[in-house]
């Protein structure tokens, strides 16, 4: 552990954390309401960038925010043997502490395998960070280790050659982790108090990188997983599987963000070789779960064969549903009917998920250009914001290795470019993250 703590920081900690501003999990699950006037529409390398901060190692997770603090995770070392949880001042960008945890399952640090891909979750007691090595680290907001647990030691090592990336979700006193893998697959809940198992439910083996979400269904909440051939609902208290829908395919990247009570979008892609092409055409749409007596009725309210997502999850905002494909084409559909509203192209594809704020929708391009569209039924670009330039790219601590084939060298060149992975937003602050750099945008 390498804490960088200061007496004044420690003394002011309870006051700073009493603020209600938060973006406490993947895709903003549980985030504070946003006031549109506090988030800028335009920025550039010279304008509205409040601060930049380097991140040790490399990570693909999104930042998270609690009060005056922003947190990220990363990995470092030739075998990803060091797991970082790093905390910064939201106001200044100053690094407050860096906790380093040894990995219990070291594996080669490569551009071909996930690197700190899962996004952590936060609550008033601290941060819970899960890494693709199977390690879960629980820390206080002051960076003190509360406990560490290894799902790899508990249940076995993952076998996916590209790594795991599903982010955990939280519900009351527990953190829920989905492991969908070529080897043993399961969903499990661990105690926030000590990391012990609260429940575990085995799943069919599969290759997937999608994350579960907590979705309100009726008067309760369910853990919903959309992952490589099925959509499933679980009771977060017991882990009991409540329902399954398996007439779906290509749904191995995006998450089921709630779009209403018992409603969420499903995103599905044909796959690199088109292996999921036919089912994927029937698997992009609005999914609805209803209860009829003691039974659950999961089904698509509508589907549309046109849109396909890349890594960014489709969202519903102000009555419209938005998908972005791998070449930056935005598909805007009517969220009630699935009918096309417009199809237009923005400058870049998005690995991060779009966010709606006020009368606009932010699309965070993977190469650093954020396109701001006017929300509504007309395609209108309000701004195109460049975070870096080609002659001044961000620090990008990617591993280097000799590659023997032209295909591998081409792959390394592609994946070695700086990538905008995620955003965290609270009133007055928009925080963006590349592999090794944080940016804070302010009005």
In the numeric block, which tokens belong to residue 383?
């701004």
CA distance 316 to 370: 19
CA distance 150 to 127: 16
Q: What is the 3-state secondary structure (H, E, C) of 151-200?
A: HHHHHCCCCCCCCCCCCCEEECCEEEEEECCCCCEEEEEEECCCCCEEEE
DSSP code per residue over 62-73: PPEEETTEEEEE
DSSP code per residue over 284-335: -EEEEEEEETTEEEEEEEEE-SS---SSSPPEEETTEEEEE-TT-EEEEEET
The closest of 375, 373, 368, 331 to 348, measured between CA atoms, is 368
DSSP code per residue over 202-222: EE---------EEEEETTEEE
Q: What is the pLDDT along the chain (443 residues), one digit of tens a residue?
A: 444 333 333 333 443 444 579 999 999 999 999 999 999 999 999 999 999 999 999 999 999 999 999 999 999 999 999 999 999 999 999 999 999 999 999 999 988 899 999 999 999 999 999 999 999 999 999 999 999 999 999 999 988 888 999 999 999 999 999 999 998 999 999 999 999 999 999 999 999 999 999 999 999 999 999 999 999 999 999 999 999 999 999 999 999 999 999 999 999 998 777 677 788 889 999 999 999 888 999 999 999 999 999 899 999 999 999 999 999 999 999 999 999 999 999 999 999 999 999 999 999 999 999 999 999 999 999 999 999 998 888 888 877 655 555 655 665 666 678 999 999 999 999 999 999 999 999 99
Provide the pLDDT for residue 16. 43
Q: Are strands 340-345 and 381-386 parallel, antiparallel or unpaired?
A: unpaired
Asked if 378 contacts 398 with a C-beta cutoff of 8 angstroms, the reply is no
Q: Are strands 174-179 and 185-191 parallel, antiparallel or unpaired?
A: antiparallel
At 258, is the secondary structure helix, strand, or coil? strand
Sign of the dihedral defined by the CA atoms of residues 48, 53, 57, 61, in that order = negative
- CATH code for the structural domain at 7-441: 2.130.10.10
In the numeric block, which tokens belong to residue 286?
């609005």
Sequence spans of domains, the chain:
7-441
CA distance 264 to 255: 9
Cβ neighbourhood burial of 334 (10 Å; 0-12, 13-18, 19+): middle
Provide the pLDDT for residue 153. 96
In the numeric block, which tokens belong to residue 92?
């200044």
How does DSSP classify residue 376? S
The closest of 267, 259, 249 to 288, measured between CA atoms, is 259
Sheet containing strand 422-426, strands side by side: 49-54, 437-441, 429-433, 422-426
The closest of 143, 161, 32 to 95, measured between CA atoms, is 143
Which single residue is written with the structure tokens 């009570």? 261
Provide the pLDDT for residue 229. 93
Q: Which residues 6+ apart lie within 8 Å of 273 measured at CB?
A: none
Provide the pLDDT for residue 95. 98
Q: Which residues 6+ apart lie within 8 Å of 112 measured at CB?
A: 161, 162, 411, 415
The closest of 125, 130, 100 to 3, measured between CA atoms, is 100
Q: Which residues 6+ apart lie within 8 Å of 32 measured at CB?
A: 20, 21, 22, 23, 426, 427
The closest of 16, 231, 303, 309 to 142, measured between CA atoms, is 16
Longest dimension (CA), the chain: 62
Asked if 382 contacts 370 with a C-beta cutoff of 8 angstroms, the reply is no
């Amino acid at each position: 552990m390498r804490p960088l703590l200061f007496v004044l920081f420690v003394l002011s900690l309870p006051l700073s954390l009493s603020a209600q501003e938060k973006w406490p999990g993947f895709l903003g699950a549980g985030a504070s309401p946003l006031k549109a006037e506090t988030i800028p529409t335009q920025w550039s390398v010279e304008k509205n960038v409040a601060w930049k901060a380097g991140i040790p190692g490399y990570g693909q997770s999104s930042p998270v925010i609690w009060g005056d603090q922003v947190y990220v995770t990363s990995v470092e070392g030739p075998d990803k043997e060091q797991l970082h949880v790093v905390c910064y001042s939201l106001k200044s960008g100053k690094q407050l502490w860096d906790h380093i945890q040894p990995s219990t399952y070291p594996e080669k640090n490569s551009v071909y395998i996930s690197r700190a891909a899962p996004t952590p979750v936060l609550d008033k007691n601290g941060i819970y960070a899960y890494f693709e090595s199977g390690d879960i680290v629980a820390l206080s907001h002051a960076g003190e280790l509360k406990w560490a647990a290894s799902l790899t030691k508990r249940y076995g090592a993952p076998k996916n050659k590209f790594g795991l990336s599903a982010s955990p979700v939280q519900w009351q006193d527990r953190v829920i982790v989905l492991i969908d893998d070529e080897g043993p697959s399961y969903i499990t809940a661990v105690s926030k108090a000590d990391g012990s198992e609260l429940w575990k439910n085995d799943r069919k083996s599969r290759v997937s990188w999608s994350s579960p979400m907590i979705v309100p269904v009726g008067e309760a909440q369910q853990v919903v997983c959309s992952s490589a051939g099925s959509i499933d609902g679980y009771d977060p208290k017991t882990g009991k599987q409540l329902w399954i829908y398996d007439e779906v395919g290509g749904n191995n990247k995006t998450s089921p963000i709630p779009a209403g009570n018992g409603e969420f979008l499903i995103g599905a892609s044909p796959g690199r070789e088109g292996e999921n092409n036919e089912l994927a055409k029937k698997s992009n749409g609005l999914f609805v779960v209803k209860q009829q007596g003691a039974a659950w009725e999961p089904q698509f309210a509508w589907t549309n064969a046109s849109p396909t997502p890349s890594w960014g999850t489709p969202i519903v905002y102000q009555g419209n549903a938005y998908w972005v494909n791998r070449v930056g084409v935005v598909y805007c559909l009517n969220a009630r009917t699935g009918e096309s509203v417009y199809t237009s192209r923005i400058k870049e594809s998005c690995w991060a998920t779009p966010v709606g704020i006020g009368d606009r929708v932010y699309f965070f391009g993977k190469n650093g250009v954020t396109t701001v569209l006017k929300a509504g039924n007309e395609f209108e670009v309000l701004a195109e914001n460049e975070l870096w330039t080609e002659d001044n790219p961000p620090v990008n601590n990617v591993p280097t290795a000799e590659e023997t084939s032209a295909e591998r060298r081409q792959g390394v060149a592609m994946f070695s470019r700086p990538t905008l992975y995620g955003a965290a937003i609270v009133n007055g602050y928009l925080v963006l993250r590349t592999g090794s750099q944080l940016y804070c945008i302010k009005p």
